[in-house]
Copies of this chain bind each other. A is one copy, B any other.
């Protein structure tokens, strides 16, 4: 199966599309731009959800659920936000179908069932949530309000790609309310740090933390924190964003609180989200020409056991051994699957698990049974070793830890090798076209220059890194003064 995959060198984009489908992660549906997330892909997403949800709860957040629909009058209340999403939203206008008198057995929209007010399928939930918060917040005692929601959202994108850009996607969106500007700013940065922690320690994806320029900010935000990752083709991918919303939504929805001192003020807000887009980042960071490569911390199962047998007796005795090993693995918190399907041959199973990125494969054949060994194969390096049965649990445990680290370090080396300091525009264009990756360069701070560079090169400012040093320099495009470098890249 791996053999049928287009190679990255040949056509990176085609490789990605094929991999997503062939590894059973997702596929396009009958609805334009909407994907079906297949069980194996969804199992990875569930692992992501579990970890993120734990991290949100550990930082004091609670889950809740708000309506799918936003009445148009609420949608338009915060003008910048509305403007940012109005061009790409699904709109419900009717609530009933009727039999089509002209076509037997067909239905049509009932013209008498028109809604008085159109409903927007949420592209993001600030409007409906802040309209609700109005009823929940009266006093400082009600603050901070730290809420997250796991939900589907819809943005009617014209060009879609599985996981990376789809009309409907799954995400979590945090929406918090605070007494002070500083507290809200701290929350927004905290959640960006949580995202970075998750990306690095679970997804094994190194990220750069930064803030967006004004033109790249979320519609309605005063500051957007983000984490930026680098894919193997040298393009950047925004993996998560956390917004400081100031008092914009509180003002649009009139959400005020009485302080301890008895004063009335608008509350301060944040919102932050990551989505099934992370699946795209995960795939593009680690996978190779043989298929998916998964960091052990997010693999639906970390080990697969494949019996090699000729007779039913051999299969039975291998199954017996496997069951003992599985119990040992599970005791150590290692997830394992026995692939004893009799409908598929071992070669086909090997190819399938390779394509699906199972970190470790254990093959057990009659020879192994005699020798008291198993064959252990790593997905990342394709290395195979023979391991004594009594050592297998320990070996697997330490290999999984090692593989998680190695994947991160490999991605980090690649990323670090692809951050290039550049000091003039000719070099900028050259690096962008040849070496690719992030370009660290001076910029004069104006949206005009940013747009001009984007127009000329398709590169955007991915972020102003949190750790950018103060350094006087000249904008690569205008030569105007600049006091820190920002990161440019072509991006997904």
Contact = CB atoms under 8 A, between A and B. Distances in A.
A82 B106 CA distance: 9
A377 to B, nearest CB: 25
A31 B67 contact: yes
B95 A65 contact: no
A147 B84 CA distance: 37
Contact of A39 (B62, B70, B119, B152): B62
A42 B57 CA distance: 13
A326 to B, nearest CB: 15
Contact of A72 (B93, B105, B107, B343): B107
Contact of A64 (B31, B36, B87, B344): B36
Nearest to A166: B67
Nearest to A66: B36
A225 B34 CA distance: 32
Interface string A64-78: 111111111011100
Among A89, A92, A121, residue most surrounded by chain B Cβ atoms (within 10 Å): A92
Nearest to A63: B42
Interface string A104-139: 011101000000001111000000100110010000
Nearest to A92: B90
A126 to B, nearest CB: 13
Contacts of A34: 67-69
A98 interface: yes
Interface residues of A, number: 65
A254 B71 CA distance: 39
A95 B105 contact: no
Contacts of A29: 66-67, 128, 132
A98 B79 contact: no
Given A64-B39, A89-B96, A94-B91, A31 B71 contact: yes
A154 interface: yes
Given A39-B147, A128-B29, A86 B68 contact: no
Given A42-B63, A42-B64, A72-B97, 9 more contacts: A30-B128, A34-B68, A39-B64, A43-B63, A89-B95, A90-B119, A91-B92, A91-B96, A93-B109
Interface of A: 27, 29-31, 34-39, 42-43, 45-46, 62-72, 74-76, 79, 82, 86-98, 105-107, 109, 118-121, 128, 131-132, 135, 141, 147, 151-152, 154, 156, 168, 170, 343-344
